Structures are given as C-alpha cells and as structure tokens.
A and B are shown apart, each in its own frame.
Chain A
Amino acid sequence: MNPLSLVRHLALLGLAYAALVAETSVVPQLSLGGATFRPLWIVLALVVVGGRGSAIVVWAAVLGFTSDCLRSNGPLGLDLVLATVAVCLLPSEWTRRRIHSITTTTLTAVLLTAGIESASRLVRIGIVSPNSAWLTDTLPAAVTGSLADALVSSGLLLIVLLGLRGLHRSLGRMLLPAPLST
C-alpha cells in the first residue's frame, strides 16, 4: 500500500472517530431549527471525493455500520446497506478519481445525507408501524427532514471547506517570495 494512502486512511479513521464522538456528544446539544447535523455522512462525502475504488465502499460500510449503532431502533445493518448502495449509485466520475471541487464535495454530501437518511427513516418507520399507507404517510416528512439534515450538514461542510481554502491561499501567498521591485 502506498504510504501516503495509508496516512490518508488513518486520517479518515481519525475523522470517522471524531464524527462518532461528535454524534454522541456535540450533536445532541446542537439546536439547528429541527435539523440534525450528521458528521458521519460528511466523512463519507470526504471519503468519496478523497478516495478511490473499492476503499470507498468499505468506508461506506464502516460508516453505515457506525450510524446503525448510533440508532436505537431498526435493524443493525440497514445504514450499512444503504450507505454501500448509495456510494455505488454515485456517478463513476466521482469515485474513480479524487475530486478537488468544493461544489462537488458539497453536492456529494447533500445527496448522500438526503438519500441515506430518508431511506433509513422510511424503512425504520415501516418496521415499527407497518400499515398499508406507511409510504404515503411518512414519505413527505421523512424526505423533508432528511433534506433539512442534508442541507445543514453540507452547509457546515461548505463553510469549513471555504475557510480551509482561504487559509490555504493565504499561506501560499505568505510563503511565496516577494517580487523584486524595479
């Protein structure tokens, strides 16, 4: 394995653990107008734009399994399956090579969070209260809530990425040699 790739995976592992800690300590105390910040799917979006090939699928499974463990109801492997399917359904251009676009990263976060969350909620509600009209009853609320979560999460990700890019540019300017004046 490429040493740089190993470092990258270690960094992703650290991010995943930070997301787990944030989900269990910081997120419950945040009040974002009814929406929930989902750091795990942010990390999954970063995995998608920063990783390549089958590693993305494995990371999706790991993060999905972690999300499963954080939920108190429903089957254990549901988010694992949904996250795996979600990354497989993403455009191959996004998963084949690394992406440095902030827009794509944010869009990936929106799609992953909204897709996984809405599907997970629908299935969990259907398991808890199975009736014939569960899909029509719960679909609007589930999609709306998941979209709100996705927008909040990706919005925070966008702010962080823009801040990092600004910092990176500032540091780059500082490190460049000053031009000689004539």
Chain B
Amino acid sequence: MRAATNWKPPAICLLVGLALITVPDPIASSIRSHVIDMARPGQQAVAELVDRLEGWHPLEGTARVADNHRQDLEAARLEIRRLRIANARLVERAVAGRTDSSQPPLITTDLVPARVLGHETIAAWQAGRILDRGRGLPVDSLVVEPGHATLDLGVDSGLARGQPAYAGRRVAGRISRVGRWTSTLQPLTDTRFRGLARLARRGRDRPVFSARGMLEGCGDGFCRLTLVPATEVVARYDLVYTDGRDQPGGWPMLYGTVVRAELPDGAPHWEIRIRPAINLDELQNVEILTRTLNPQRSNSPGVLAQ
C-alpha cells in the first residue's frame, strides 16, 4: 500500500469492524439473517440450474417424438379396447337373438351340485354304521369304484352315466356309475376318459382358440391331447378347453394347461401333455350337467299333431 496517504480506508474499515464486534447478539443475528437472505435469489437460481441439469437429456428431441408415438399408441390401444367391448356386446346380442327363437329349446341343461363323500363316510356306510331311521340304507346301494370319487347324488337326483362334472369352470370328469343315492366320478385323468378339446392361447380379455383335439387321461395325474395336427402352433402354458356345442351356458370349460408339447420327426400329430386345472385330491364339491326335455316343448302340440 502507498503508506502515508492511504491510511484512512483501512482505519475506517477497522473502526467499522471494531464497532461491529461490539454489536449485541440480537442485532448481529438480525444482520446475519439479512445478509444470508440476500443470497436467496442466487440459491433459487442454483437450485433451478441443478434441476435443469438433472432433467436435461441430449436426446430430448427424440424423446419428445417417442413421447408423441407413445401417446398415439395409447390412443390406439384405447380404440382397440373400445372396439373389443363393442364387438363383445354385438356377439352377446347376436347370441341372444339366436337363442330367442320363437320356440323354447327342446333340451334344457342344469347344473346339479353334489358333494364328494369322504373315505370315513364310505367306510362307515360299508360297515353299516350310518343311522338310517328305518328308511333303508343298504350297503349295496353305495356305489364305489377304485380310484374314483363317490358323489352323494344318484338316480334320485337325475344323474346318469356319462354326465360331465365340473368344479366351477373346470372339468372334473364325468359320472361313471350311478346308484340310487350315490354315484362315482370318473376323473379326467382316468385312462378311459375321453373328451373333445380345443387349444387356446391367453388373450387380453378372452382366450384365443386354435386347434381341436381329443383329450385322454394318462392315469398318472396328467392328460394328453391327441389328434392335434403337426401344422398347428402349440406352446407351453396354452390352455385346453372343452369343445363341442353342448357347453353349459355356451361357454367352454377348462381342462388344464399344456406342460409339454413335442413334435417328433415325421409325426403327423403333436404329443401334448396336459396338467389338469383341478386338484382331484382336494375336490369337495362338483356340479353335474344334466339334460332334460323341456316341459314347455313336451306339453305343446307338435307339428305332426296339428
């Protein structure tokens, strides 16, 4: 510093400093707060800059285009969904119009609920330990088949041999023997079980059906699907539904899921292994599909009678 002439500014600054040192704490705190508050605009600018740097992307233009495409795709998806819903409504209306014919159906179907008898109940029945109050519960009226579940409904409830049994929307098997009060259920895994089947892939709102075939029980807890041509597309986890016109409610029932699909060289058909959708060991209730003649039709005079 130029010594003699410039002593005033340092002296003034030192005096100011010394004066500030003597300032009481509340005033000093107030001054500190005001000075720090002055930095607030700059701090906000720094925070905005940091946010922009974090959100900045070199391919922002491309991202914007991709965002537009994503919006278009979402709109297209919504339109497809709307059309699907409209299509489903039209199909329902068409089915309803088809069924609402002038004549009621000749055959009506009904699902009769039945319980699976447990081993203890069967043993007690066979031992004659069930109280029948004199109504007659002979041992030979109990229908039992090895490996088949016994149901607590029989001829009295309209059950007959060959009627399909379901658990919910899954196929459990069919009635194999019928007694007066009981019947046996042939599970779908039984070696003598046969049923028309149809493969399906999982769709967004309903299964997409493809090839038809014949489902057969393997006897080892699994089934196989035969007669599916080699030209069809089969994959694991495809679903197997019942096929045919006589579906309860017009909807197919589920047999199971494809767990293995092989196409040997030169073979005309797939070898498909199916895991049943139902756990037969834990089966407690089933519904048996019964068909009866529609009384409205049977009471009305026929065409030939007129």
Contacts and interface: CB of A to CB of B under 8 A. Distances in A.
State whether these chains interact: yes
Interface of A: 17-18, 20-21, 23-26, 53-54, 57-58, 60-61, 64-66, 68-70, 72, 75-78, 80-81, 84-85, 88, 92, 95-96
Contacts of A84: 10, 13-14, 17
Nearest to B41: A21
A20 B42 contact: yes
A137 B17 CA distance: 27
B111 interface: no
Contact of B28 (A60, A61, A76, A85): A76
A75 B21 contact: yes
A52 to B, nearest CB: 10
Contacts of A96: 1-2
Interface string B5-48: 01011100110111111110000100110011011001101110
A21 B10 contact: no
6 contacts: A18-B42, A24-B36, A60-B13, A77-B20, A81-B17, A96-B2
B1 A95 contact: yes
B16 A80 contact: yes
Contacts of A88: 1, 10
Contacts of B31: 69, 76
B19 to A, nearest CB: 7
Nearest to A20: B39
Contact of A92 (B2, B19, B38): B2
Contacts of B19: 77
Given A57-B6, A60-B13, A77-B17, 15 more contacts: A20-B35, A25-B39, A54-B8, A54-B9, A61-B17, A69-B36, A70-B32, A72-B32, A75-B20, A76-B20, A76-B28, A77-B16, A81-B21, A84-B13, A84-B14
Contacts of B38: 17, 20
A53 B10 contact: no
Contacts of B42: 17-18, 20-21, 25
Number of contact residues on B: which range applies?
Answer: 20 to 34
Given A20-B39, A80-B17, A95-B1, A54 B6 contact: yes
A25 B38 CA distance: 13
A75 B13 CA distance: 15
Nearest to A68: B20
B13 to A, nearest CB: 4
Contacts of B20: 65, 68, 75-77, 80
A4 to B, nearest CB: 21
A149 B97 CA distance: 89
Nearest to A90: B1
A20 B28 CA distance: 18
A65 B36 CA distance: 12
A182 B3 CA distance: 58
Given A20-B42, A70-B36, A81-B18, A76 B23 contact: yes
Nearest to A82: B17
B43 A76 contact: no
Contacts of A18: 42
B4 to A, nearest CB: 12
Contacts of B22: 75
A76 B21 contact: yes
Contacts of A54: 1, 6, 8-10
A66 B17 CA distance: 12
Nearest to A60: B13
A58 B14 CA distance: 10
